[in-house]
Amino acid sequence: MVQLADGDIKTREVLGWKGVHVLHFMGSSCSQKLRIFLNLKGIPWQSHPIDLPAYENMQPWFLGINPRGLVPVLVHDGAVHIESNDIIQYLERKFPTPRLIPAGHENEVAALLKHEDDLHLDLRTLSFRFVFAPPGPPIVFTASAVIVSPQAEQVTCGSKRAPHVVCTNSIGLPSLGRAQRSPQAVSAKIAGTRSRPASVRRYS
């Protein structure tokens, strides 16, 4: 369970929030999953939409809640929880009725959620490459970046047209999610026509 320590939370106002609060984005699949779970459980919750296209998740207020800059985030009676699958399992324990994870199958469900999370990383890579990429011919970005912390979540290029570096494996398929979670040096290349240096956005 990923619960942030008190000292990690710079936006102190959330520590006083009572009840269930969810910071989320409408189009985020992880946010959608959590909203479905909350509504099936019948848990009253307060919505705090975060505008990802406007980079609201990169603003100091949100980074002061989740330094990783990711949604969804659960704040339950002032305790901040991140990672959607961990949040779901936490809520199942805190609000056991109606039961959505069958008794005795907790480990099996946890394994299925882990498998879903791995698939999500691949889908996110494809989405950034083929769905959210701006129209027009692709641009070449050749970058070498060092992730300075295991918590670092994004490697970004110096261009508004391609805010994410897509790392490719030996057969040319994108593997952004796994590469960006590595604490080792990352070599990234995007196929296209021009080159530009990259920078590392640090979250720790």
| DSSP for residue 134 | P
**What pLDDT does residue 118 have?**
79
Per domain, the residue ranges of the chain are: 2-100, 134-201
pLDDT, tens digit, for every residue of 18-67?
Answer: 999 999 999 898 999 999 999 999 999 999 999 999 999 999 999 999 99
Name the band, by pLDDT with cuts 50, 70 and 90, for residue 125: confident
**What pLDDT does residue 174 have?**
39
Is-above-0.85 flag for pTM? no
Name the band, by pLDDT with cuts 50, 70 and 90, for residue 121: confident
Q: Under DSSP, is residue 75 helix (H, G, I), strand (E, B) or coil?
A: strand
Class of 2-100 per CATH? alpha beta
Positions of E strands within the chain = 2-3, 20-24, 46-49, 73-76, 79-82, 141-146, 154-157, 185-190, 198-201
**What pLDDT does residue 44 have?**
97
Residue 197 CB partners (closer than 8 Å, separation 6+): 143, 157, 158
pLDDT, tens digit, for every residue of 139-193?
Answer: 655 544 433 343 434 444 343 433 443 333 333 333 333 333 333 333 333 333 3
**What pLDDT does residue 182 have?**
37
Q: Under DSSP, is residue 184 helix (H, G, I), strand (E, B) or coil?
A: coil
**What pLDDT does residue 24 have?**
98
**What pLDDT does residue 187 have?**
35
Q: Are strands 20-24 and 46-49 parallel, antiparallel or unpaired?
A: parallel
**What pLDDT does residue 10 have?**
95
